[in-house]
């Protein structure tokens, strides 16, 4: 085959350190836009970014040369620096880990809608319940003792 064809979509989720509600509504959209800029700068496609005061969801299109761990390291480090300098929240930090789930092209729109409805969704369920459910849905084994 003379060319490469890819459909690599990822639903990535991570929280603030200790799930503290650091991300205030008055600057949340600016953070989402900044995260999208970081992804574009790393040659990815930010398809949807959303979340609440204590966590972020990203729907990303990546290419075959991306190393997810490197992208996440840069994304978290650069956005933390931005929050410290632009927002003035010097105590802010992200959790160490993250969840990354592959998304079929046919499911991109449903994941996009899910991310857009985070505020509504979290009126009933907290981040920890949501994250556990995602791990179960994707068949990822975990030990509750090491989850948080």
**Domain residue spans in the chain?**
9-143
Which class for 14: exposed (0-12), middle (13-18), buried (19 or more C-beta within 10 A)? buried
When comparing pLDDT for 54 and 1, which is higher? 54
Average pLDDT of every residue of the chain: 95
* pLDDT above 90: residue 25: yes
| CA angle, 55 then 58 then 64, to 5° | 140
Asked if pLDDT for residue 144 goes beyond 70, the answer is yes
What is the helix (H) or strand (E) element at residue 50, kind and residue range? strand 45-51
* Res. 1: pLDDT tops 80: no
CATH of domain 9-143: 3.30.70.1290
Between residues 148 and 140, the one the model is more confident about:
140
pLDDT the model gives residue 42 = 94
Residue whose pair of structure tokens reads 């948080």 in the numeric block: 148
Report in angstroms the alpha-carbon separations of 143 from 43, 54, 61, 110, 131.
34, 22, 29, 28, 13
Tokens standing for residue 41: 């700068």
**Is the pLDDT higher at 9 or at 121?**
9
């Amino acid at each position: 085959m003379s060319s490469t064809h890819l459909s690599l979509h990822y639903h990535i989720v991570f929280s603030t350190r200790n799930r503290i509600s650091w991300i205030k509504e008055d600057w949340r959209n600016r953070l989402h836009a900044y995260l999208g800029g970081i992804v574009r700068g790393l040659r990815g496609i930010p398809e949807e970014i959303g979340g609440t005061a204590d966590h972020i969801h990203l729907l990303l299109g990546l290419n075959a040369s991306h190393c997810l761990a490197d992208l996440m390291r840069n994304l978290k480090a650069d956005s933390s620096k931005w929050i410290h300098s632009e927002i003035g929240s010097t105590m802010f930090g992200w959790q160490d880990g993250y969840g990354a789930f592959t998304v079929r092209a046919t499911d991109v729109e449903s994941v996009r809608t899910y991310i857009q409805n985070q505020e509504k969704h979290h009126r009933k369920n907290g981040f920890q319940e949501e994250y556990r459910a995602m791990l179960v849905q994707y068949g990822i084994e975990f030990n509750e003792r090491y989850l948080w």
